[in-house]
Amino acid sequence: MRKKDALAFGGLLLLPLFCVCLLVPMPSSAQELIIYPNQGQSSEQQEQDQFQCYNWAKGQSGFDPMAPPTTKTAPPPKQAPKGGVGRGAIRGGITGLAVGAIAGDAGKGAAIGATSGGLFGGMRRSDQRAQEEARKKQWAQQEASTYQAGRSNYNRAYSACLEGRGYTVK
């Protein structure tokens, strides 16, 4: 495999993960916690407490906010193409040819069959693509929801730990 082809193939593998990352809200100002030392803790003590609470919350929740987002399940598999204008036209043409031969005009029957077969084949393929896109979108939303739930559990554990050490967390 040429280097250019390998890079393109690798990009295709990372595309679903990239799409999920776009859908997953990254830590923003709404998720960043504000921590106030109630008991006059020094900045060094606060930093140490925050690190210890980070490790504790990560262990409690199973979520690491410092790790890049990953998917928990594989994206939905792509199905083999169904229908298509060309395939439908060929099938319709063959069917139209047979029906036209019985009716007495094989050429006209083949033309009508090819046209209608191409139309129906194209519609079938279009429906399949729409269904695949819907499955991908549902999967991405499910992954985003899983990420948000993990982040929320982590934030709750982290806040509890810091509050137990004498900090106000908002």
Q: Is the pLDDT of residue 32 over 70?
A: yes
Cβ atoms 25, 150 nearer than 8 A: no
Do the strands 35-37 and 167-169 form a parallel or antiparallel pair, or are they unpaired?
Answer: antiparallel
Q: Name the percent of the chain lying above pLDDT 70.
A: 57
Is the pTM higher than 0.75? The answer reads no
Query: Quick one: which of 125, 37, 123, 117 has its CA closest to 81?
Result: 125
What pLDDT sits at residue 125?
73
> Average of pLDDT values for 65-78?
84
Question: Which tokens sit at 11?
Answer: 């990009």
- Residues β-bridged to residue 167: 37
Average pLDDT, rounded, for the chain: 76
What pLDDT sits at residue 100?
57
Confidence of residue 15 (pLDDT cuts 50, 70, 90): very low
**Inter-residue long-range contacts of 18-21, CB under 8 Å, 24+ positions, other chains counted:** 19/136, 19/140, 20/69, 20/71, 20/140, 20/143, 20/144, 21/68, 21/69
Residue 38 half-sphere exposure toward CB, CA atoms < 13 A: 9
Q: Where are the domains of the chain?
A: 19-169
> Average of pLDDT values for 4-11?
47
What pLDDT sits at residue 23?
45
Q: Per-residue pLDDT tens for 95-152? A: 665 555 565 666 666 666 667 666 666 777 778 888 889 999 999 999 999 999 999 9
- CA distance to 5, 59, 88, 109, per residue, from 144 (Å): 31, 21, 38, 52
